[in-house]
Amino acid sequence: MWFNKVAKPLKHQRRLPLVRTIVQEIMEQFQQKIFRFFQGDGVRLAEAESQLSQAAKEFTVEMLQAYVQQLSVNLEEDRQGRRKAGLVIERKREERRLLTQLGEICFRRDYYWDKHKQCYRYPVDEALGIEKGMRISNSLGLALAGGAAEMSYDKSSRYVGEGKVSRQTVMNRLRDCQAKEAIAGEKRWVAALHIDADEDHVTMQGGKTSVLPLISIYEGIGSKGKRRYCKEVFHLSEYGLSGDELWEKVLSVMESRYELEDTVIYLHGDGAPWIKTGLEWLPNCRFVLDKYHKNKAIKKMCAGLDQGSLRQSVEGALRSSLAQGNEECFRDITESLCKENRKREKNIREAANYLHNHREAIAICLQEQEANNGGCTEPHVSHILSSRLSSRPLAWSKKTLVCLAPILAARGELEKKKATPPVKDPVLKKAAAKAKKVFQPKYTLGLVEPDAIGALTAINLGKKTPAFSAVYSFSR
């Protein structure tokens, strides 16, 4: 095997052992690759990035393979420890291949019968955290899942996995992951919090459309020059939950971040039943009709009028009557619009009823100035959900949406749903500690240790030259 090779000693290394460890041989080969690269006529950055990074990956893979091989040998040679642990070798040197972000790792390990647990095991796999049937590492799986949250399965396979994994594998890794929860700091108190609630309409497998809610929580709107942004914003999205289950989770997350006593919460939305359910769960909460949907309904009422001063004046009168809560004025404008345009009477009355039912949620913006410091539901849905789920012709399964929705909302690091617990077997810990010693060489690879030089004795070079100054500084 490759790990049993013996390297011939160089002339200036006669005192070193004749048989070198595989670790030292790997290090020498890597060193020679680096030196050969810089021995050319010139070094271009593009070539250095590709060749040196590939050489570093190959070096790391070979070192990992050497470590695993040494771990397997140590476990096999520790007969007394295996006897206490009840491990009996069933089959020797079975091959295992694992695809990682560095490349494919290939190693051999033994198959054992565990007398205590009455089962067959691969202890080396357990020590490395490799699960049964795993073909790609956890790190690569998380990277593939993170790529799938931003791009298609095929692109994630090509860009992250270098085309060595299938689209089905990328989807499976996405389903195995979840968004890592942000570590909440100390609770803070703020005078007001704003919540934008809206949904994205996602096409499911089979052609039907399903609703995916998005909750955005922030401390009002700030500005950086001409740009406006939501301060301290974070998002929540869950697929398949009822309204009560969703708002219960929203409340628990908010309570972990804020002291909600005496805090006014403004809930912005289009007035859908699942959104208004939040008024029953959130303390001191007030509903505010989102400006996008308010303006959309006003435009719908005035769509039959010609573009010009008349249409602008009617829209202004509608806004003023709604803001002031003047129902009589709003009703008179509605009736006059219906008389002038009988063909659109149905659309006008639908929009008027929508605005009339939310007249209190519109008038609050004039009564409380803070109510105007929020309400941007559509941009949140567009950037967080629609850009990946519904901006192009795609069809999703319920199982995938359950996993993908929280990941898109969190936009943070990913972690496996079920992390592999660390191995606590004493015999494996002993074998691993012994294998690590191989990576601590007792001598250098033909290089002089800086500490072994010592201090130079002071010498008199005669005339003071630049060379004399340099040597003299070291001698001091």
> Cα separation of 183 and 412, whole Å?
11
Instruction: Give the model's confidence band at 1: pLDDT under 50 very low, under 70 low, under 90 confident, else very high.
Output: very low
CA dihedral 171, 177, 179, 185 (to 10 degrees): -170
> Cα separation of 394 and 388, whole Å?
9
Is the pLDDT confidence value at 8 over 50? no
Question: What is the model's pLDDT at position 363?
Answer: 93
Instruction: Give the model's confidence band at 268: pLDDT under 50 very low, under 70 low, under 90 confident, else very high.
Output: very high
CA dihedral 381, 385, 386, 387 (to 10 degrees): 120
Question: What is the model's pLDDT at position 340?
Answer: 86
Range of weakest confidence among 22-26, 293-297, 303-307, 444-448: 444-448
Question: What is the model's pLDDT at position 465?
Answer: 60
Give tens-digit pLDDT for 75-92.
888 899 889 889 999 999
DSSP secondary structure letter of residue 412: S
Q: Are 259 and 233 in contact (CB under 8 A)?
A: no
Q: Are 193 and 217 in contact (CB under 8 A)?
A: yes
Question: What is the model's pLDDT at position 452?
Answer: 47
Instruction: Give the model's confidence band at 16: pLDDT under 50 very low, under 70 low, under 90 confident, else very high.
Output: very low
> Cα separation of 65 and 103, whole Å?
11
> Cα separation of 327 and 342, whole Å?
22
Token digits of residue 184: 């909440």
Q: Are 34 and 55 in contact (CB under 8 A)?
A: yes
Instruction: Give the model's confidence band at 186: pLDDT under 50 very low, under 70 low, under 90 confident, else very high.
Output: confident
C-alpha distances (whole Å) from 199 to each of 15, 237, 278, 390 are 74, 9, 14, 12
DSSP secondary structure letter of residue 151: S
Is the pLDDT confidence value at 128 over 60? yes
- 3-class SS at 348? helix
> Cα separation of 303 and 344, whole Å?
9
C-alpha distances (whole Å) from 448 to each of 22, 32, 80, 306, 453 are 21, 17, 41, 89, 8
% of the chain residues with pLDDT over 90: 48
Question: What is the model's pLDDT at position 377?
Answer: 84
> Cα separation of 399 and 66, whole Å?
40
φ/ψ of residue 285, rounded to 5: -105, 140
Tell me the mean pLDDT in the region 395-410. 92
Tell me the mean pLDDT in the region 149-154. 90
Question: What is the model's pLDDT at position 442?
Answer: 56
Highest mean pLDDT among 173-182, 267-276, 430-439 belongs to 267-276
Is the pLDDT confidence value at 334 over 60? yes
Is the pLDDT confidence value at 2 over 70? no
Is the pLDDT confidence value at 116 over 60? yes
> Cα separation of 306 and 296, whole Å?
17
Give tens-digit pLDDT for 286-318.
999 999 999 999 999 998 887 778 888 999 999
> Cα separation of 325 and 364, whole Å?
9
Question: Up-side HSE of residue 317: CA atoms within 13 Å toward CB?
Answer: 18
Kindly report the average pLDDT of the chain as a whole number.
84
Question: What is the model's pLDDT at position 74?
Answer: 87
Query: Which stretch of DSSP H or E encloses residue 200?
Result: strand 192-203
Strands 285-289 and 264-269: parallel
Question: What is the model's pLDDT at position 21?
Answer: 64
Comparing 23 with 302, which gets the higher pLDDT? 302
Range of weakest confidence among 47-61, 133-147, 413-427, 459-473: 459-473
Tell me the mean pLDDT in the region 405-431. 82
Question: What is the model's pLDDT at position 402?
Answer: 92
Range of weakest confidence among 9-13, 97-101, 229-233, 249-253: 9-13
Tell me the mean pLDDT in the region 175-196. 87
DSSP secondary structure letter of residue 282: S
Q: Give Dmax (Cα) for the chain.
A: 113
